[in-house]
């Protein structure tokens, strides 16, 4: 089973709202401290750059979630750059919709949304002492097929 996701219009609208908030914050900073106009301008530009980095890299990315039968492959493409992670089902320690108390590092954040995390699935995989985690947003059908594949793989 294979799924392809990209950020939607809701994320774009959220990012535009945040851009307006940052703009008003910067204008308020510049107007309230006229002797520090250059500092207010620099702070506003830095905040816009940070917002643009997070939003545009996620908004222009295409995420592919693939169930190969023996492993889970998650791929993020931004333009021609590609980041992929693949691991076997037997290495999966837990799959949950709630964030674990301690999320092992490194954390692979492979989800298209920036501002909301309601549909996130947290996967902890690896072996004792070398755990890693993955955050992604599959559909319910893909998640149920993934859980069935993991259960079948662990029974072997």
Is-above-0.95 flag for pTM? no
What does the pLDDT read at residue 117? 66
Residue ranges of domains in the chain: 2-59, 63-155
* Domain 63-155 in this protein, CATH class: mainly beta
Instruction: Evaluate the omega torsion of the peptide bond into residue 106 and state whether it is cis, within 30 degrees of 0.
Output: yes
| Tens of pLDDT, residues 116-133 | 667 788 888 887 778 888
Q: Is the dihedral of CA 128, 84, 81, 16 positive or negative?
A: negative
How open is the CA angle 47-51-54, to the nearest 5 degrees? 140
- Identify the H or E element spanning 58: helix 37-59
Confidence class for position 154, pLDDT limits 50, 70, 90: confident
> Does 9 have pLDDT greater than 70?
no
């Amino acid at each position: 089973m294979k799924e392809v996701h990209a950020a939607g219009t809701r994320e774009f609208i959220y990012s535009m709202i945040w851009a307006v908030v940052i703009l008003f914050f910067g204008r308020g900073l510049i107007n309230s401290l006229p002797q520090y106009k250059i500092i207010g301008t620099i702070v506003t530009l830095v905040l816009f750059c940070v917002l643009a980095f997070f939003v545009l890299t996620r908004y222009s990315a295409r995420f592919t979630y693939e169930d190969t039968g023996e492993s889970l492959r998650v791929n993020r493409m931004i333009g021609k750059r590609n980041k992929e992670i693949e691991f076997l089902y037997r290495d999966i320690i837990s799959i949950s919709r709630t964030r674990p108390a301690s999320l092992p590092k490194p954390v692979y954040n492979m989800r298209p949304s920036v501002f909301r995390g309601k549909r996130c699935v947290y996967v902890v995989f690896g072996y004792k002492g070398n755990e890693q985690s993955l955050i992604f947003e599959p559909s319910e059908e893909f998640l149920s097929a993934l859980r069935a594949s993991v259960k079948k793989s662990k029974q072997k």
